[in-house]
Amino acid sequence: MIEVHSLTKRYGHKTAVDDVTFTVAPGIVTGFLGPNGAGKSTTMRMIVGLDRPTQGSVTVNGKPYSAHRSPLTEVGALLDAKAVHTGRSAYNHLRAMAATHGIPVSRVHEVIEMTGLTSVAKKRVGGFSLGMGQRLGIAVALLGNPKTLILDEPVNGLDPEGVMWVRQLVRSLANEGRTVFLSSHLMSEMAMTADHIVVIGRGTILADAPVSEILAAASGNGVRVRSPQAAQLAELITPSGAQVTSSEPGLLYVNGSSAVQIGELAASAGLVLHELTTVESTLEDAYMELTADSVEYHSTPTHPAPAPAPARPSTTAIGGK
């Protein structure tokens, strides 16, 4: 378990992490999301004692990282896959780490095989591709067979097979009861991998909840209805308290009522439906909504942006609350 308590980190005038409190529980995969510069890596570095908090504290399995007698067997971390001596082979890098932590060489062979590095293990790390470097970083994190894994953007640079492998790996580590905390910018991947999500923006926590709750809270969930009698249908739906909006004639978007309820209501009034679709927000939708005010580094579209066609278009309220 990782317990982060009122953690703050300032670099000069810049507050990278601002009074952050959350817990990463064992037995599940916790995803750490946030825009560029939000404070994810800084928080992770403070967890493993690589950055000193300006204020606050953090413990891993009840103690500060540095208080553990054998930290590698307690916490495995991938924070910067490039932080490897480029002149050494992957095998020698892992062997040196194992030797200084009382880890048998057999474990080095095990993690090399697990991470798919067998054919390149004796090659200089300097010649590694981005993905091979990431795999080596993950091998280092796994070396001590730790109870807690902290992985900063582990799938960055991995090929599709590697991405799927990381997903299965972290899920199986969590199923064994370990604590798994990983960051990523790949929302669809995170939706498939994580059970719980912590979202950070400009150094503060924007959300800390199970994935299901984050998805349920997104405003894009609802029902899309097409009917030649849309206005009549809207009048029937609004007394229930559901919110009905419309962006074009014949199309309704209903928030707060299910497709079943709307279908029944339409049938009882003899109204024709051309479409009745349950629309569910993706993690990307929910994330965009949560972080809308926290993005520091905005991109400019290189081409005129096409007209957006979101699940829930800009709308005119027809009724409801």
Which residues here bind ligand ATP, judged by CB under 6 A? 11, 14, 16, 34, 36-42
CB nearer to ligand ATP: give 213 or 296: 296
Which one of ligand ATP, Mg ion, none interacts with residue 14, CB within 5 to 8 A by kind? ligand ATP
Tell me the closest approach of the beta carbon of residue 180 to ligand ATP, in angstroms: 18
CB nearer to Mg ion: give 154 or 222: 154
Q: Could you give the CA distance from residue 84 to residue 54 in angstroms, rounded to a whole number?
A: 28
Taking Cα atoms as reference points, which of 263, 250, 191, 188 lies closest to residue 223?
263
Which one of Mg ion, ligand ATP, none interacts with residue 34, CB within 5 to 8 A by kind? ligand ATP
> Which helix (H) or strand (E) covers residue 73, if one does?
helix 71-74
Tell me the closest approach of the beta carbon of residue 270 to ligand ATP, in angstroms: 54
In this structure, what token pair is assigned to residue 8?
A: 């703050």
Q: Could you give the CA distance from residue 205 to residue 58 in angstroms, rounded to a whole number?
A: 15
Tell me the closest approach of the beta carbon of residue 23 to ligand ATP, in angstroms: 19
CB nearer to ligand ATP: give 14 or 321: 14
- Residue pair 52/46 in contact by the 8 Å Cβ criterion: yes
- Specify the DSSP class assigned to residue 308: P
Q: Could you give the CA distance from residue 253 to residue 30 in angstroms, rounded to a whole number?
A: 33
Regarding 281 and contact with Mg ion (CB under 5 A), the answer is no
Taking Cα atoms as reference points, which of 67, 181, 87, 77 lies closest to residue 139?
77
In this structure, what token pair is assigned to residue 220?
A: 């894009």
Which one of ligand ATP, Mg ion, none interacts with residue 16, CB within 5 to 8 A by kind? ligand ATP
Which one of ligand ATP, Mg ion, none interacts with residue 233, CB within 5 to 8 A by kind? none
Q: Which of residues 23-52 bind Mg ion (CB under 5 A)?
A: 40-41
CB nearer to ligand ATP: give 36 or 258: 36
CB nearer to ligand ATP: give 11 or 260: 11
Q: Which residue of this chain has its Cβ atom nearest to Mg ion in the complex?
A: 41
Which one of Mg ion, ligand ATP, none interacts with residue 39, CB within 5 to 8 A by kind? ligand ATP
Query: Burial level of 160, CB count in 10 A (0-12/13-18/19+)?
Result: exposed
Phi-psi region of 6 (alpha: psi -120 to 50; beta: other; left: phi over 0): left
Q: Could you give the CA distance from residue 226 to residue 292 in angstroms, rounded to a whole number?
A: 30
CB nearer to Mg ion: give 42 or 255: 42
Tell me the closest approach of the beta carbon of residue 203 to ligand ATP, in angstroms: 7
CB nearer to ligand ATP: give 71 or 201: 201
Q: Could you give the CA distance from residue 312 to residue 191 in angstroms, rounded to a whole number?
A: 20
Interacting residues with Mg ion (CB under 5 A): 40-41
